[in-house]
């Protein structure tokens, strides 16, 4: 079965600074990888996904993620963080015709 690890529980960055959220997965075959964002009391919004092809994936709100098979990683990046990016971020791994497993989440705080 697939699993996901997000090593950082909480990250604080200054507004305008760059951001990288880490995600490592475990799965025997080629995974389907996702990043979702959750604002307090809200559902999850899909930021981006990777199924195949180009390993650098562009998403909404200026986010991107890079799939590195050799490192079993799918880290999320943004070059310049905005205060509105403060939220909880979840990495998830899915498998074909199977369910999705979520990481524990990383809470992002943005300092003014």
Partner 1 sequence: GAVVSQHPSWVICKSGTSVKIECRSLDFQATTMFWYRQFPKQSLMLMATSNEGSKATYEQGVEKDKFLINHASLTLSTLTVTSAHPEDSSFYICSARSRGGGETQYFGPGTRLLVL
Closest CA to 88 of 37, 49, 35, 46: 37
**Three-class SS state of 72:** coil
Nearest distance in Å: CB 18, partner 1? 25
Should residue 103 be labelled a site residue for partner 1 when binding is judged by CB under 8 A?
yes
Considering only 34, 35, 63, 67, the residue that binds partner 1 (CB under 8 A) is 34
DSSP 65: E
Phi-psi region of 105 (alpha: psi -120 to 50; beta: other; left: phi over 0): left
Within 83-102, the residues that bind partner 1 by CB under 8 A are: 90, 94-97, 99-102
Is 53 a binding residue for partner 1 by CB under 8 A? The answer is: no
- Regarding 28 and contact with partner 1 (CB under 8 A), the answer is no
Interface contacts to partner 1, rule CB under 8 A: 32, 34, 36, 41-46, 49, 51, 90, 94-97, 99-105, 107
């Amino acid at each position: 079965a697939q699993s996901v690890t997000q090593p950082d529980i909480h990250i604080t960055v200054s507004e305008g600074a760059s951001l990288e959220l880490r995600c490592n997965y475990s799965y025997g075959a080629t995974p389907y990888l996702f990043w979702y964002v959750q604002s307090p009391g809200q559902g999850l919004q899909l930021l981006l996904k990777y199924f195949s092809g180009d390993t650098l994936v562009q998403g909404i709100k200026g986010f991107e993620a890079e799939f590195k098979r050799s490192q079993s990683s799918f880290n999320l990046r943004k070059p310049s963080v905005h205060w509105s990016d403060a939220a909880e971020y979840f990495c998830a791994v899915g498998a074909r015709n199977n369910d999705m497993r979520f990481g524990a989440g990383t809470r992002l705080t943005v300092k003014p």
